[in-house]
Homo-oligomer: A and B are copies of this chain.
Amino acid sequence: MFSFALGTGSKNSAGEWLDVFFPAPQLGVSDSVLQLAEKHLDYSGGNQSIELSNTKAQAFAAMLSNAGETKLATVVEKLAYSEQNLVAVLLATDSKPTNVPEVYLKLHLLSHRLVKPNQINLNGMLNLLPQVVWTSHGAIDIHELPERQLQARLIGQIINVLSIDRLPQMANYIVPADVSIADSTRVYLGAYVGAGTVVMQEGFIDFNAGTEGLGTIKGIISTGFFVGKGSNLASGSASISKRINETRKQYFFGEDCFIGAHAAVGISLGDRCVVEAGLSITEDSLVQRVDAQNQAGDTVKAAELAGKSDLLFRHNPSSNMIEVLDKNKHH
């Protein structure tokens, strides 16, 4: 069993899921819980999203408790009193998600730091998610918004709209330990924010992207990028990911890298790399190698340098070229 969780979520008036909140998602499942799921939730193998009544959830909580699954029982017991919809998601394998609850479970696994970016199958995910109005009152179907807005106004209230988007912000579902996030609207559910990460005002982390930890992020971490420990992105910088079929190419920055202000990087980097402020590097960028004495070597595509450590990328104002210096080679 790949993953298991019970969640509660919103639906529109047509009964379609808008989002699901999983308070305690888990990788794997114990044998006893699996047997109870088969017996009581009619789980019949494979990947299933099973909707539950409150009564059924209460009974399931009792069984979990009897089976000694105390921690899980406590969560399910609380969920059982939800006035919202309840769903159990059982994923036998990490295959392509097929519905909204599956997608949300996978996004929770990332943001709960149970899996890392690029480790799980999210293919076709965005196509499964409806466009939702995210508000101070939760997820609202875009067609139901006008009536909700009117009803709120009539009693002197407002529904504060945060965004209109397929994905919500992470912090309204889970705030992982030991992070600072200056503006929660800029970190999406499905971001992996490692311990010790400081996301400043201008920082941004997309889903299936993130940081291992201990870095200051003032730039954009795009889908598919995982940034190593101690690496910092300066203000206005960006990692740029390429779309391949229905998903994104996978990239990484190693540890202790520094991406300068307004730089844009579309390749992987090893450890201790530096990209000078304002520089833009894609896989096809031509890069001139130079040595410590500023002697020019051969010219290569940036893609050939991807993932190598101790590189300093800089702009040569006289040749107008991108130069790369291997900081380990001193002569």
- Copies of this protein chain in the complex: 3
CA–CA, A161 and B137, complex, Å: 12
Interchain CB contact under 8 A, B164 and A162: no
A320 to B138 Cα, complex, angstroms: 52
Q: In the complex the two chains form, is A164's CB within 8 Å of B150's CB?
A: no
Which segment, of A38-46, A113-121, A166-174, A225-233, faces chain B? A166-174
Chain B residue contacts of A27, Cβ below 8 A? none
A236 and chain B: residue at smallest CB distance: B236
The complex places the Cα of A286 from the Cα of B323 at a distance, in Å, of 23
Contact-size category for A:
35 or more
Whether the pair B181, A164 counts as a contact (CB closer than 8 A) is yes
The answer to whether B153 touches A8 (Cβ under 8 A) is yes
Contact of A154 among B82, B137, B177, B262 (CB under 8 A): B82
Contact residue among B79, B84, B158, B165 (Cβ-Cβ distance under 8 Å from A137): B158
A131 within 8 A of B: yes
Does A65 make an interface contact (CB < 8 A)? no
Chain B residue with minimal CB distance to A151? Answer: B78
6 A-B Cβ contacts within 8 A? A149-B173, A161-B172, A162-B184, A163-B183, A183-B186, A235-B238
Closest 8 CB pairs of A and B: A161-B171, A82-B154, A138-B158, A164-B181, A161-B184, A21-B153, A23-B150, A136-B160
